[in-house]
Structure 1
Amino acid sequence: MSDPNERLSKLAATFRDLEAYVQQEKVRVIHFGVGAIGAEVVRALLNNPEFEIVGAIDASAAKAGKDLGDAAGIGHTLGIPVAYDPESLLKDTYADVVVHCTGSSLTEVYPQLMSIVAAEKSIISSCEELAFPWVRFPEISQKLDRRAKETGVRVLGTGVNPGFVMDMLPMMMATASQQVKSVRIERILDVTTRRIQLQRKAGVGLSVSGFQQAATAGAVGHVGLRESALMIADSFGWRMDDVSETLEPVIARERRKNEYFAVEKGYVLGLRQAARGLVSGQEAVRLDLEMSLGANDPHDLVEINGSPPIRAVIQGGIQGDAATAAIIVNCLPAIARSRLTGLLSMRELPAIPYFRPRSQQREEE
């Protein structure tokens, strides 16, 4: 048997840690997944004194055991080792929110999400299918929602798309319109200088037949258009007949080259993908996405057919990785401090999620 005084000493230390955790003003964050997006979030958090990184997890043997600063390519160490096994770290580390960036498929990341919720920690995830999962994944949604409410935490899927450009942005803009009949969003990205993973997802460098095979296998194409269309329709109270998606290659008319690929004429520069939602046989939601090398006139466009009609163009478009990291970081305070519990979407968050009323701000501010 261990010494009773030793046990009391350890217990007292635990309560001191807990008291410090409850009284702290900073939002304590664990990173689950230190890939391209996860690393971008790490960099964004380091520039914000409101947050404290208290742990990190990654299933990659190449990153597990490394310092988080090295694993995320920060340029210096942070004194935070990257754990391989999430269970003990999630159980033993006091934290408000877990930033989860491991995959796009909800069915694949569901066990990870449930383990985080079981450890009584809230989640912000970049999983695209988690942005609005109730229609396509009703059973998983119900289980996540129920368990999160039992443990008193919140679960949110978000990012630049889905999560903002092709759903929340047009819905917020529609606040200035009535009798909305349809919504159209167009997003055109030039992926020439973007990370290689995104270029591969766009099918850059493939033959046409290779693109078609990869599309059938789910290896190319953007995940999340359907979630955005469903969120928009649900927000307007539209009962859609169907949501259909199309995916086709953008073919090179001349040779193009960038850091990663040399694309010959007749090969694939990228993709065009669209989601179309019908209400009573009429098109109510249209989402058009192009991601390709040298895409002409990159931009984000929102058109709302209402009274008054609204049309807005963001020239150059919103940069995806940096914006996704910014959205996650800006939503952290709302997720950490919200009185809501359960599975949420961006609709349930305040319109300005990073805003803190003056009564909550530090006296020196």
Structure 2
Amino acid sequence: MQEKFRTIHYGIGAVGSEVLRVALQRQDIQVVGAIDTHPAKAGRELGEVLGLGRHLGINVSYDAESLLRDTSADVVVQATTSHLMTVYPQLVQAVASEKNVISSCEELSYPWTGQGELARKLDRRAKEAGVTVLGTGVNPGFVMDILPLVLTSPCQEVQSIAVTRVVDTSTRRLQLQIKTGTGLSPTEFRFRVSDGSIGHVGLKESLFMIAETMGWQLDEVKESIEPILATRRWETGAFVVEKGRVAGVRQTAVAMAGNREAIRLELQTSLGAEHPHDSIVIDGKPPIKLTIAGGIQGDQAAAAIMVNLIPAAVRARPGLLTMRDLPFIPWWSARGWWKEVPHDEHLRVL
């Protein structure tokens, strides 16, 4: 009899909905619950909320505590917000119910350096409950951290790692356009940066994951964020952006080790960005350069990664883990690669 992983989905927004659509296609997953506090979703039938045209026999719950307590599940797939401080109570609820957690929270992808106290608390709770907590996604969680680390495998020496991700937001969802300041004046942009409502979350987490995995002692970390201004008039489904107003954002995180630039991560997201791509350049022996034309589509990839990780999260050792603590995770095919891998609570690669 084929093993089924029972999942509860906490957060039915853009990412959470895409995760559910992927999970519902997998014959080895049984969705048993859904949680969302938005009035337009709570209490409604899940299939209706997802726009599937069919019912799933699951109503979206507003009461997370009761659903987590009363529903048997292997994994809580959580996709609500980017900031660990905000999402921490939700994670604690899930852990208290003795369920593994896979979260899209960007700050959870590698919280040990930036938010060590919260990370240690969560790690302790997870170990006491005997469950795994894991933060992941496409960025952070893959393109700008795990993928470049994997690419260093054939190197005898590595001096530096540089990753650039260029995204054309005209092809992406509205929320990303808002998050990158689309349509603002340069002055409004600076104000929104200062209050934290604009910009990518997770660049520092990717940088620290790379540095600590490579064993590099950093002397300085510099971050910058600046607007990309429209060079012509743009019309999107939600915005009219005149020339000279904000079309997107450029963010950079640079780590210095001694006199050398050890890590450079640059993210450019804007309307009509030319030649979207992901590129990784490793100054090593041998040198390596990888370019992914078009770049990896963020929402699709994030959802796939979260679903593909379900078997590994169930089998991993208890505690707060990061993507570098897990074995290689391929596409979760119908054959189920995980069936050939024995449960090993010490399974890890880094």
Q: Decide: shared fold, TM above 0.5.
A: yes
**What residue number does 2:95 align with?**
117
Match of 1:351 among 324, 328, 347: 328
Aligned-partner Cα distance in 1 for 2:2–2:291:
42
Task: Identify which of 210, 220, 234 aligns with 1:256.
Answer: 234
Q: What does the per-residue CA deviation read over 1:105-137, in whole Å, with 9 as the maximum and x for residues that have no partner?
A: 100110110111011000000000000000111
1:282: how far off? Answer: 1.9
The CA distance in 2 between the partners of 1:73 and 1:270, in whole Å, is 30
For residue 172 of structure 1, report the CA deviation from its aligned partner.
0.6
Cα distance between partner residues in 2 of 1:226 and 1:277: 10
Q: 1:319 is matched with which residue?
A: 297
Other structure's SS at 1:227 match: helix
C-alpha deviation, 1:45, in angstroms = 0.5
Provide the secondary structure at the position in 2 that maps to 1:162.
Answer: coil
Q: 2:75 aligns with which of 94, 97, 107?
A: 97
Q: TM-score, normalised by structure 2?
A: 0.94
> What SS does the aligned partner of 1:226 have?
helix
Once residues 93 and 194 of structure 2 are traced to their aligned partners in structure 1, the CA distance between those partners, rounded to angstroms, is 32
Return the offset for 1:24: 7.1
The residue number in structure 1 matching 2:111 is 133
Amino acid at match of 2:157: Q
Q: Kindly report which structure 2 residues correspond to 1:226-245, keeping only aligned pairs within 5 A, or say none.
A: 226-245=204-223
Q: What SS is found at the alignment partner of 2:141?
A: coil
**Residues 149-202 of structure 1, C-alpha deviation per residue, up to 9 Å, x if partnerless?**
011000000000000000000001111112111100000000102111000001
CA distance in 1, matches of 2:315, 2:50: 27
- Pairwise CA distance, 1:352: 2.4
Q: Which of 61, 71, 77 is equivalent to 2:39?
A: 61
Residues of 1 paired with 2:156 and 2:47: CA distance? 49
Aligned to 1:184: 162
Secondary structure of the 1:82 match is coil
Query: How far apart are residue 76 of structure 1 and its match?
Result: 2.2
| 1:269 partner letter | A
The one-letter code sitting in structure 1 at the alignment partner of 2:130 is G
SS of residue paired to 1:185: strand
Structure 1 distance, partners of 2:67, 2:6, is 14
Give 1:242 deviation, angstroms: 2.4
Describe the SS at the equivalent of 2:152.
helix
> For residues 32-71 of structure 1, what are the structure 2 equivalents within 5 Å?
32-71=10-49
Are 1:291 and 2:272 an aligned pair? no
- Does 1:342 pair with 2:324? no
Give the partner amino acid of 1:356: W
Relative to total residues, which structure has the larger helix share, 1 or 2? 1
Shifted more, 48-57 versus 253-262: the winner is 253-262
User: Is this contact kept in 2: 1:35–1:72, CA < 8 A?
Assistant: no
Check if 1:275 corresponds to 2:253: yes
Counterpart amino acid of 2:123? D
State the Cα deviation string for residues 188-239 of structure 1 (Å, max 9, x = none).
Answer: 0001021110000011111111111111111110000000000000000011
Please report how far the alpha carbon of residue 314 of structure 1 lies from its aligned counterpart in structure 2 after TM superposition. Answer: 0.2
Q: Please give the alpha-carbon distance, in whole angstroms, between the structure 1 residues aligned to 2:341 and 2:234.
A: 56
Deviation at 1:357, TM superposition (A): 4.4
**CA pair 321-359 structure 1, distance change in 2 beyond 3 A:** closer
Give the C-alpha shift of residue 71 in structure 1. 1.9
Deviation of residue 327 (structure 1)?
A: 0.3
Q: Residues 227 and 91 from structure 1, CA distance in 2 versus in 1: closer, same or farther, beyond 3 angstroms? A: same
- Matched-pair contact (CA < 8 Å) for 1:255–1:264: yes
Query: What amino acid does structure 2 have at the position aligned with 1:40?
Result: E
Structure-1 separation of matches of 2:323 and 2:282: 20
Which runs of 5 or more structure 1 residues have no equivalent in the other structure?
1-22, 361-365
- 1:204 aligns to what? 182
**Alpha-carbon distance in structure 1 between the residues aligned to 2:2 and 2:102:** 20
Match of 2:345 in 1: none
**Shift of residue 70 of structure 1?**
1.8
Following the alignment from structure 2 to structure 1, what is the Cα–Cα distance between the partners of residues 296 and 174? 18
Partner residue, 1:306: 284
Select between 75-84 and 162-171 the one with higher mean Cα deviation: 75-84
Report how many aligned residue pairs link the two structures: 337
Shift of 1:259: 1.6
Cα distance in 2 between the residues matched to 1:44 and 1:197: 20
Aligned equivalents of 1:24 and 1:189: distance in 2?
40
